[in-house]
Amino acid sequence: MPKRVGIYVRISTVDASGNETATARQEADCREVVARNGDDLVRVYRDVDRSAYDLSTERPAFEEMLRDAAQGNLDRLLAWKWDRLCRSLLDAGRLHQLVEVKGIDVNTVMDPISSWSSSSAALEVGIRAGLGAGESKSTSMRLKRVSEERAAQGLPHAGGRRGFGMKNGHLEIDEAEAAIVRDCAARALDGESLMSVARDLNDRGVTTTRNGTWNASNLRRLLTAPHVAGRRMFRGEIVDSDVIPAILDEATWVALTKMLNDPKRSTRHAAEMNRPLSGTVRCGTCASVMTPRTRRSEGQRPSYVCRKEPGKMACGGRSICADDLDQYVLASIIERVETDPLSRALIMRDDAEDASIADRLLAVRDARLDAVRLFSEGHLTASELVAAQQTSAETARALEAELVKRGSARVLAGVLASDHLEALWNERGNQWARELVRLLINSIEVAPNAVRGRQAFDPDRITIHWAAD
């Protein structure tokens, strides 16, 4: 009788271009055996980028195959070699249990067991699994040592996934992709939302290095990735490199990293992130931040509300129509920018200042490296090294903060050159509008209604505290 066969293929890593040729070869050889035996192929179970040695790594296809076999849906499990199936004694024992309890035939193409009924079969599989585990351990130790040497030399990771914008093992820039990275960086710093930029990339047919689509998450990872600044990651730390070319200059990458990794940006509730004035509107009674909310009782109109919650010092007695307040603040900003010289002067600075700050940052970084070198040569004591590093870190933080401030100021660059601020407000999206508001306004205070129960928007309730005042 023909056997119901499940084929299992696995590869630990794929090559830099994303090819999975090894699993294709494994599958072809297994299919040939199934056809030669006249068996029925039920399914091919495939795990890619999955280690069989690291027990903390899940192998979804492997687990599903074991469940199908235990439920009686398979009569035989076939793999190319035993180390594709298991590299641990634990998994070898699970396969042996299927053979003993369920009567499943488990075998491979390249190193088959002649008969599971022989007394030495289980021992042979255990020995092969143990040898596989030892080989994996030895390989892991060698690779770790190679990684340490490459990191010390500033070289990129050997193999692995290609970073967008790079080629030749991260030693050369792919100019076509690099131009896309620079464009995305500029648009993000100009206040355009990452989702908007990602949608544009998808509409233009630009794909990720694995031919996938873009979203806010993977675009954020790209723009803050060390390789776009000519750096690399090693054991969770960003390491400088003299051989990896940079796609973005120091000032741009620092500003992007600070802006996109800001905890307030990433952890704020979705509703709070969806209004231009989020985080700026405050209750005139208790000074708590008023957050956006939409309720059926309010006719589905979004409002900014002083929300009373456990552990929050809010009075819960204030609300105002969000759309009306947004439009009132926009009109106030237009008037302010047109008539107040100080607001205009806020961004009318020479672009060369960015380059100057970036050069100072590089000098601080070089000074920190020089201090480490002097310490290693015995010219500095440990306490002197710590003091020097602390001073350098404080200077670097101040310079980075200035770059972030200047990056936010770029939001206004197009505004002052245009008479269509309202159109920009509507076209660029809420992220752009929020950056504009935060640059010009410290807070917006909402006072109680003059007449209890009155619902119409009353501009007399609003006090705008301008940043330039």
252 plus 280 within the same structural domain: no
Q: Which of 184-193, 225-234, 290-299 has the lowest mean pLDDT?
A: 290-299
Domain harbouring 57, CATH code: 3.40.50.1390
Dist. CA 238–CA 244, nearest whole Å: 13
Co-location of 257 and 295 in the same domain: no
Query: Minimum mean pLDDT among 86-95, 99-108, 215-224: which range?
Result: 86-95
Q: What is the pLDDT of residue 420?
A: 65
Domain range for 250: 167-267
Average pLDDT over residues 329-353: 63
Picking from 248, 267, 286, the residue at the C-terminal end of a domain is 267
Distance CA 289, CA 279 (A): 6
In this prediction, residue 115 has a pLDDT band, given cuts at 50, 70 and 90, of low
Q: Which of 81-90, 207-216, 248-257 has the lowest mean pLDDT?
A: 81-90
Collapse the DSSP code of 230 into the 3-class scheme (helix H, G, I; strand E, B; otherwise coil) and give the result: coil
Out of 162-166, 315-319, 339-343, pick the least confident. Answer: 339-343
Contact, 316 vs 330, CB < 8 A?
A: no
pLDDT of 455 reads: 64
**Residue 20 counted as domain residue:** yes
Identify the pLDDT of residue 95. 81
Does residue 158 lie within any of the structural domains? no
Q: Is 90 exceeded by the pLDDT of residue 38? A: yes
Strands 302-305 and 319-321: antiparallel
How does residue 380 score in pLDDT terms, banded at 50, 70 and 90? Answer: confident
Let me know whether 194 and 289 are in one domain.
no
Q: Provide the β-strand partners of residue 445.
A: 282, 463
Q: What is the pLDDT of residues 119-166, one digit of tens each?
A: 556 656 666 656 555 565 555 555 455 455 554 544 555 555 677 888
Within this chain, do residues 377 and 405 fall inside the same structural domain, yes or no? yes
pLDDT score, position 40: 94
- pLDDT for 174 beyond 70: yes
Average pLDDT over residues 106-121: 72
* Domain tally, the chain: 4
Question: What's the mean pLDDT in 345-374?
Answer: 66
- At 199 the pLDDT is 86
- Residue 200, classed as helix, strand or coil, is helix
Higher pLDDT: 135 or 427? It is: 427
> Percent helix, strand and coil across the chain, each rounded to 5?
50, 15, 35
pLDDT score of 268: 43
pLDDT tens digits, residue range 212-247? Answer: 899 988 998 899 888 888 765 545 455 555 567 888
Same domain assignment for residues 374 and 298: no
**Top-confidence residue, 48 or 136:** 48
Average pLDDT, the chain: 75
